[in-house]
Amino acid sequence: MPVQPSIYPSGAWIHGKTSLHCSNQIILTRYVWIIADWVDVSMVYLQRLLALLVGCVGGFSNTVDSSNVCDVQDALDKGIAEIASMPPLVFAGECRTLQDRLAAAARGEAFIVQGGDCAESFDQFNANRIRDLYRLILQMSLVVMYGGGVPVVKIGRLAGQFAKPRSADLEKKGDVELPSYRGDIINGPEFTSDARVPDPQRLVKAYHQSASTLNLVRGFSTGGYAALDRVADWNLDFMSNSDEGEAYLDLAKRVKEALVFVKACGAQELSALFNETEFFVSHECLLLDYESALTRVDSTTGLYYGCSGHFLWCGERTRQLDNAHVEYLKGIGNPIGVKVSDKMDPSELVALIAALNPENTPGRLAVIVRMGAAKLRENFPRLIQAVQEAGQVVTWVCDPMHGNTESCNGYKTRRYDNVKAEVEAFFDVHQEMGSIPGGVHLEMTGDDVTECIGGGSSVSETDLDSRYHTHCDPRLNAEQALEMSFYVASRLRERRKHD
């Protein structure tokens, strides 16, 4: 059970808003709403924000209009107040259940499959896309469960994965430079100055989209759609004509036979186990105004929970110990994650883990490693060793996407082989270190997109422009993701043999 750090007085997360005074009030007011609550928490973050704003002035000065400033601040306050008055999206008890599952994954008694869009979007929002991602995660889980012999913890990057951190504050096309797209919850992806202006009403829209996404997902999970024998019956369009498709159909047949067997043994009493599933949602904890508005006190424990999603993670760009995002995550009871690249050094990681999980509670903290295969082989053992020596319990998760982004024919892409190589390295290093691979974290979609190159689906470099739909990073398509699940299952099976 997480212990609320005593440094946070009651109500601090929700009512702790302070105004920012700065000589360049116009510019700041225009942008500061992205992180308004937190500038007082972290001077380092404030300095970074100021650098960002100064960087924006050139491209934006002619659209900054002082008569507008009060309207924008007003609109932000109204948007936040509206969300703060809405029901929470998730309940603390669900978050605690997830924490138990993540603790099992840390012990090697479960495996996490976490996946979804890099960035959810407003204009691609519809029931079919949610269903297809949900279905794919369940199919991958079936493969991992059957092949790997462990329960799978299913987590969508879904129902809140809207805000994007960006390495570059500005985007340049030809001679035109505009502020970067920061996710549909902040501004629009179109390359126009209008679209790139932050609009507080987007926060409210993101909340409502998340609520209806979750509603459908909960319906799928308990309403019969996720029943095991149905999952085994599901077909994806590509299945009849690909190796992965055939392998899946073959595995599904064996699962169905096993189900007939256990039911014949009298397992009907366990019908909830066969007819329902647990499914959790997660997103990067980036937009602290949004997170603050959905931070609520759990009446059972008296602890604060981030009620925007079951699992929130801190990104690679915001995970500094003195950063506002880390401060926020310290104070909520949810299971949380932190992304770690090769830039992390062992002592920094140990200090960060101690700050985020001072009670060393199993399942509270997942460390999501994203380095690329070669750097992972070089750096990951040192990190594991330091954590082992410190006696810290974490759930190790592999994100093989964010260390493998490259550009090809003008598209941001990833090569399936590189993605797989990182998963392979992740399992190899754990095997060498005697530590536990707890899960994978993938950017993927149930749609038949052509955003990542290779894999059985054989998307080539020249195919990229045929169905490239992502608003941010390239995702594995359904076939590539399923292929990955077979590889993961094979590694878990191998691990089981060693035990």
Nearer to Co ion among residue 283 and residue 430 (C-beta): 283
The CB-of-157 to ligand PEP minimum distance in angstroms stands at: 7
Neighbours of 482 (CB within 10 A): 26
**402 lies in the site for ligand PEP, by CB under 6 A:** yes
What's the min distance (Å) between Cβ of 443 and Co ion?
5
- Selection from Co ion, ligand PEP, none that 366 binds (CB < 5 to 8 A by kind) is none
Out of Co ion, ligand PEP, none, what residue 158 binds, judged by CB under 5 to 8 A for its kind, is none
Mark the segment that binds ligand PEP (CB under 6 A) among 201-209, 291-299, 312-320, 445-453: 312-320
Distance CA 105, CA 98 (A): 10
Per-residue contact flags (x/-) with ligand PEP for residues 265 to 304, judged by CB under 6 A:
-------------------x--------------------
Cα 472 from Cα 402, distance rounded (Å): 12
- Out of Co ion, ligand PEP, none, what residue 370 binds, judged by CB under 5 to 8 A for its kind, is ligand PEP
Q: Which is nearer to Co ion, 473 or 479 (CB)?
A: 473
- State the DSSP H helix or E strand holding residue 440, giving kind and residue range, or none if neither: strand 437-443
Enumerate residues 435-474 that contact ligand PEP by CB under 6 A. Answer: 473
Q: Out of 37, 298, 316, 422, which residue is the one contacting ligand PEP (CB under 6 A)?
A: 316
| Residue closer to Co ion, measured from CB, 118 or 444 | 118
Nearest CB to ligand PEP, comparing residues 166 and 382: 166
Residue 145's H or E segment, with its range, is helix 127-148
Helix (H) or strand (E) holding 311: strand 311-314
195-232: burial string, b at 16+ Cβ within 10 Å, e else: ebbbbbebbbbbbebbeebbebbeebbeeebbbbeebb
Stretch 104-123 residues interacting with ligand PEP (CB under 6 A): 118
Burial of 260 per CB tally in 10 Å (0-12, 13-18, 19+): exposed
Where would I find the H helices in 190-242? 201-222, 228-233
Q: Which of residues 468-497 bind ligand PEP (CB under 6 A)?
A: 473
Q: Using the structure block, give the residue that is written with the tokens 């491209």.
A: 59
Give the number of other Cβ atoms within 10 Å of residue 145's Cβ: 21
Residues 105-144: x where in contact with Co ion by CB under 5 A, - otherwise, as a string: -------------x--------------------------
- Supply the minimum distance, in Å, between the C-beta of residue 166 and ligand PEP: 9
Phi-psi label, residue 455: left if phi above 0, alpha if psi -120 to 50, beta otherwise: left
How many binding residues for ligand PEP (CB under 6 A)? 10
Instruction: Please list every residue from 459 through 488 that binds Co ion, using CB under 5 A.
Output: 473
**Which residue number, 168 or 265, has a Cβ lying nearer to ligand PEP?**
168
- Among residues 55, 88, 108, 165, which is the contact residue for ligand PEP, using CB under 6 A? 165
Comparison of 284 and 291: residue with beta carbon closer to ligand PEP: 284
Of 77, 68, 14, which is closest to residue 204 (Cα–Cα)? 77
Q: Which residues of 467-481 are buried (b: 16+ CB within 10 A; e: fewer)?
A: ebebbbbbbbbbbbb
Distance CA 120, CA 379 (A): 31
Choose from ligand PEP, Co ion, none: what does 327 bind? Cβ within 5-8 Å by kind: none
Residue 444 CB contacts under 8 Å (≥ 6 apart), including other chains: 115, 116, 133, 136, 475, 476, 477, 478, 480, 481
The nearer residue to ligand PEP, 118 or 384, going by C-beta atoms, is 118
Q: Which residues bind Co ion (CB under 5 A)?
A: 118, 473
Question: Rule CB under 6 A: which residues touch ligand PEP?
Answer: 118, 165, 284, 315-317, 339, 370, 402, 473
